[in-house]
Amino acid sequence: MDIVLAITVGGLYAAGIFMMLRRNVVKLLIGLGLLSHAANLLIFTAGRLVRGRVAVIPAGETQPLTIVADPLPQALILTAIVISFAVLAFTLVLIYRTIQTLGTDDLDQLRATDT
Amino acid sequence: MNAQVAVVLPIVLPLATMTVLLLTWKSIVAQKVIGVVGSTLLLMSATALLWLVARHNILVLQVGSWPAPFGITLVADRLSSIMVMLAGLMAFAVSVYSLATIDDRRVAFGFHPLVQLLLMGVCGAFLTGDLFNLYVWFEVMLIASFVLLTLGGERGQLEGAIKYVALNLISSAVFLAAIGVIYAATGTLNMADLALKLRSFPDQNVVSVLAMLFLIAFGTKAAVFPLFFWLPASYHTPPVAVSAIFAGLLTKVGVYSLMRAFTLLFVTELEFTHNLLLLIAGLTMVTGVLGAMAQSEIRRILSFHIVSQIGYMLMGLALFTPLALAGSVFYIIHHIVVKTNLFLIGGMIEQRFGTGLLAKSGGLYRSAPVLATLFFLAAMSLAGVPPLSGFFAKMTLIRGGLEAERYAIVVAALVVSLLTLFSMTKIWTEAFWKPAPVDAATDVRLGDQSWTDRFFLCGPTILLTTITVGIGVMAGPVMDAALAASEQLLDQNAYIEAVLSVGSRESTRP
């Protein structure tokens, strides 16, 4: 299972970076989204993949009896998903406004503030 | 007052101010008044924190009383308290300045609540002792800065914002991935606990890989070579008050994080990591200043100088001796005050001529002698002319470099300093000495400005210039504070003990 997720994460990173290298701003946004998904999946994989065991320590014990998946990374991802959702929503509006104001979706045309 | 409450106040106060501001959304007067009051409160709480940390060394607050490696820890050591203090000072100066420069439309769209949100993120990043929490504060700060940058929706703003947003989001994604990998490797995200575990980590190559991931993540935020391109593309687009607070605080959060990571976490492979940092520091200095020389617009020149000066701050960190690190801390103190001040002054020049283009301005030495004096003092301090603050900051760094026998970086620092002086002279001769061009917009605004507006414009710059001169004249006490901060940074055990023992005292039950 780990290897499948590892390949998925790598694929997502590759696809994300590829999309960001395109000239269209909308593709840039898709690339950013893929990149944050890749990071989230990476953390998920880091938290160990174990099926069907509850990460609850029984009463009277100080550590889990069997190997369980670490619940903390999953909590981290939840936070990260919420944040990336908000940020991507903002970026979407930004891109919409930019296309409206500048009349182009080509990143190569956005040169006015360059140095 | 309980000392630990002081640690959380710089985060809670902006949040409270923001809440009140959102409730009084409809009144522009209330927005302005409450915004300034909130920033003043933040400055007061930051001063209290600085004083308390000077007495207690390290203040630790375990949020929700969860013991150390399990809960979120807030830590205020000397460096954090200095940074929070500077954030409070800049917040105060910029919110007063914004009263005269930010138009009512932007205020009505929530300028003041956003500034408070930004300050909450910045102070949170300075005070947290947990990596994931640092990520969250980064995002709080980023989302506030995104909106502040685009508020108003002018062409240039939107264009600059796309670059700023895209590159900062990439750096956040790298940061998040780095957090995932470091958690997989060590099983903890508490910085003190991480410092302990990384020290005895079996495979130091993994630690180096992690160090590089964090270097890219924090380096992008700090605008180091070659990751700085978002900064000069965006910092000159928003209103001046926004540029000024960005220039003062945002990149410095990145520098602070680099300092924290490379003094506390990644100190086992110094040969590799810190030599790389030194190389980056040199290249950042040189490319930044060369970029500035090619520009002909005030805020673009100043933006490139931010990049160049990030190099100086990294130089002290890379040399990793107590003196050099103290130089870095001193440089950050000096830089935040002077840079914000120069942006505020640049804004006043832009306001007079309706543009920041040097070719279209001139004659200010005659028409605005007070402004000329303020600019001269700030610019000379930036270039490092004695007896102003920049001189002592650079001298400490260069002494640190000489003692560590790293002559190449010393030469780079001196040459860049000279080029900075050249670049400041360019603004001086163009905007102040040269007679105003015939087609320039005359000082139309001067007569229109009410005395309150003039007070709001000049008050903060006079305050910041006084501080710059004050740091130069009273360099001794500031230097002592910087040295104490750097010694504390190099004494990792004290930090670890302060964080972990507070937790273990409460978690003694089985």
Residue type at position B418 = L
| Residue B70 sits at the chain A interface (C-beta within 8 Å) | no
Does the pLDDT of residue A1 top 70, yes or no?
A: yes
Q: Is A24 on the interface with B (CB under 8 A)?
A: no
A24-73 residue pLDDT tens = 999 999 999 999 999 999 998 888 888 877 778 888 888 877 888 888 88
For residue B405, pLDDT over 70 is answered with yes
B429 inside domain: yes
Q: Which pLDDT tens digit goes with each residue over B463-494?
A: 999 999 999 888 889 999 999 999 999 988 88
Average confidence (pLDDT) over B86-109: 90
Task: Say which of A72, A80, A112 has its CB closest to residue B159.
Answer: A112
Write the ipTM: 0.93
For residue B225, being part of any structural domain is answered with: no
Q: Residues of B with CB below 8 A from A86's CB?
A: 143
Looking at B292-449, which runs of residues are DSSP E strands? none
What integer pLDDT is reported at residue B504 of this predicted model? 47
* Residue at B311 is within a domain: yes
Chain B residues with CB-CB distance to A32 below 8 A: 166, 169-170, 173
Asked if B136's CB is within 8 angstroms of A76's CB, the reply is: no
Residue B474, C-beta contacts closer than 8 angstroms, at least 6 positions apart: none
H or E stretch at A82 = helix A71-102
| Candidates A73, A87, A101; nearest CB to B169 | A87
Total structural domains within chain B? 1
CB proximity under 8 Å: B 302-331 to A: 304
pLDDT at B420: 92
Per the structure, the complete domain to which residue B316 belongs is given by 279-473
Query: At B127, phi and psi to the nearest 5?
Result: -100, -15
Chain-chain contact of B179 with A76 (C-beta, under 8 angstroms) = yes
Query: Has residue B115 got a pLDDT over 90?
Result: yes
- Helix, strand and coil content of chain A, in percent to the nearest 5, comes to 65, 0, 30
pLDDT tens digits, B296-341: 888 899 999 999 999 999 999 999 999 999 999 999 999 999 999 9
For residues B261-278, average pLDDT? 89
pLDDT at B510: 35
In a domain, B102, yes or no: no
> How far apart (Å, rounded) are the C-alpha atoms in residues B397 and B475?
14
Task: Please identify which residue in the block is written with the tokens 């575990």.
Answer: B197
CB contacts of B165 in chain A (<8 Å) are 90-91, 94
Record: contact B233-A101, CB cut-off 8 A? no
CA-to-CA distance for B174 and B209, rounded, in angstroms? Answer: 12
Cβ-contact B245, B14 below 8 angstroms: no
**Residue-averaged pLDDT of chain A:** 87
Distance, CA of B323 to CA of B309 (rounded, Å): 18
- Say if B258 falls within a structural domain: no
Residue B324 lies in a domain: yes
Asked if B169 and A90 come within 8 Å (Cβ–Cβ), the reply is no
Q: Residue written as tokens 């979706």?
A: A105
Probe site for chain A from B117, B164, B165 (most A CB atoms < 10 A): B165
d(CA A68, CA B157): 49
Contacts of A80 in chain B (CB under 8 A): 135, 176
What does the pLDDT look like over B362-401, one tens digit per residue? 888 888 888 899 999 999 998 888 888 889 999 999 999 9
B303 to chain A: nearest residue by CA? A115
Q: Coil, strand, or helix at residue B248?
A: helix
B106 close to B239: Cβ distance less than 8 angstroms: yes
Q: pLDDT value at position A8?
A: 94
Residue B448: pLDDT band with limits 50, 70, 90: low
At residue B68, the 3 state secondary structure works out as coil
Question: What pLDDT does B445 receive?
Answer: 52
B233 shares contact with chain A (CB less than 8 Å): yes
Is B166 in the A-facing interface, judged by CB distances under 8 Å?
yes
- The answer to whether the beta carbons of residues B307 and B232 sit under 8 Å apart is yes
Residue B46 lies in a domain: no
**Residue at B431 is within a domain:** yes
**Average pLDDT over all residues of chain B:** 88
> Is B255:B219 a contact under the CB 8 Å cutoff?
no
Please judge whether B162 and A40 are an interchain contact, meaning their C-beta atoms are less than 8 angstroms apart: no
CA angle B262, B117, B182 (to 5 degrees): 30
Give the tens place of pLDDT for each residue, B219-260. Answer: 999 999 889 988 988 888 899 999 999 998 999 999 999 999
Give the C-alpha distances (Å, rounded to integers) separating B374 from A93, A96, B147, B239.
Answer: 40, 42, 31, 20
Which residues on neighbouring strands pair with residue B297, listed in sequence order?
B357
DSSP-H helix ranges across B228-297: 230-234, 240-245, 251-260, 270-293
pLDDT at B443: 53
Q: Report pLDDT digits (tens) over B145-191.
A: 999 999 888 888 888 899 999 999 999 999 999 999 999 888 889 99
Q: Do B156 and A112 touch (CB under 8 A)?
A: yes
Confirm if A45 and A6 have CB atoms less than 8 A apart: yes
Please tell me the least confidently modeled range out of B417-431, B471-485, B494-508.
B494-508
pLDDT: is B64 or B7 the higher one? Answer: B7
A73-77: average pLDDT: 90
Rounded CA gap, B430 and B444, in Å? 20
* Beta-carbon pairs below 8 A across chains A and B: 111
Q: Given an 8 Å threshold on Cβ–Cβ distance, is B177 in contact with A76?
A: no
Q: Is the pLDDT of residue B95 over 70?
A: yes
Q: Does A95 touch chain B (CB under 8 A)?
A: yes
User: What does the DSSP 8-state code read for residue A24?
Assistant: B
Residues of B in contact with A114 (CB under 8 A): 233
Distances, alpha carbon B300 to alpha carbons B90, B245, B297, B400, in Å = 20, 15, 5, 31
Tell me what pLDDT residue B442 has: 56
Instruction: Answer whether A110 sits within 8 Å of B162, measured CB to CB.
Output: yes
Q: Tell me phi and psi for residue B272, to 5 degrees.
A: -85, -60
Q: Which of A90, A113, A114 to mutate to test the interface with B (most CBs of B within 10 A)?
A: A113
pLDDT in tens, B357-369: 888 888 888 888 8
The reply to whether residue B159 touches residue A86, judged by beta carbons under 8 angstroms, is no
- What percent of chain B is predicted at pLDDT more than 90? 55
- Domains (range + CATH), chain A: 2-51+63-109 (1.10.287)
- In the chain, the amino acid numbered A83 is I
Residue type, B445: R
Quote the minimal CA–CA distance from A101 to chain B in Å: 7
Q: Are B277 and B318 in contact (CB under 8 A)?
A: yes
B206: contact with A, CB 8 A cutoff: no
For residue B74, the cross-strand partners are: B61, B128
Task: Please judge whether A94 and B169 are an interchain contact, meaning their C-beta atoms are less than 8 angstroms apart.
Answer: no
